[in-house]
Chains A and B, each alone.
Chain A
């Protein structure tokens, strides 16, 4: 069955530290997408990245980087030189669009609450 696990419930770091948020997924589909969303205290989910199952290239966007490894079913997210504004809950999500009735809806992990202290 499809599942997303974010083992880290809460992480606290001091500003300028690097931090990695872990995400492990389970799926039987060969075609799927992985996402990261940020949820600040205001509640709105902010889209950060989408990666499809056929593209294992790592991606960097400013201070953010993502490491996708199909061999370990992981899609980890690293924030370099963290800032107070990075404090939020981060969700990893899976969307299956392969065979077997997959419908593409997002399956979320439980989220990791990141607190960045000045």
Chain B
């Protein structure tokens, strides 16, 4: 079974631009979550999508948004990029939505975003 895939793997953008990251979950998984990893803040939860609906959201500004398609693939968008948005963005998929508690999350390799 193929794992979680994320594209692109690396991205360089300048301040003020916007960026879209993509995540394809494991086949059959309907929940996709996004996490941001930085040296200072560590791993922080961004949001979760399940059946094309945002189920849960972390404490990030509205510049961070996402969506999920009917095939469970998800995209994350960051508008008006700031230097502090430089991070590794990890996507995770699970069978069911997280609040059920019964499902492990499997992570993709991440997208390394650098904002200059």
Q: A103-B56, A106-B35 are in contact. Are A47 and B105 (CB under 8 A)?
A: yes
* Binary contact readout B73-106 vs A (1 if CB under 8 angstroms, 0 otherwise): 0000000000000001010100001111100111
- The interface size bin for chain B is 20 to 34
Q: Does B56 lie within 8 Å of A45, measured CB to CB?
A: no
- Residues from 49 to 95 in A contacting B, C-beta threshold 8 Å: 50, 52, 91, 93, 95
Q: Does A91 lie within 8 Å of B33, measured CB to CB?
A: no
Question: Nearest Cβ in chain B — how far from A91, in angstroms?
Answer: 7
Question: Nearest Cβ in chain A — how far from B56, in angstroms?
Answer: 4
| Most chain A beta-carbon contacts within 10 A, residue among B100, B101, B107 | B101
Closest to B35 in A: A106
Distance A106 CA – B44 CA, assembled complex (angstroms): 8
Q: List 10 A-B pairs, minimum CB-CB distance, nearest first.
A: A104-B98, A97-B101, A45-B107, A108-B43, A103-B56, A105-B45, A104-B99, A44-B109, A43-B110, A110-B42
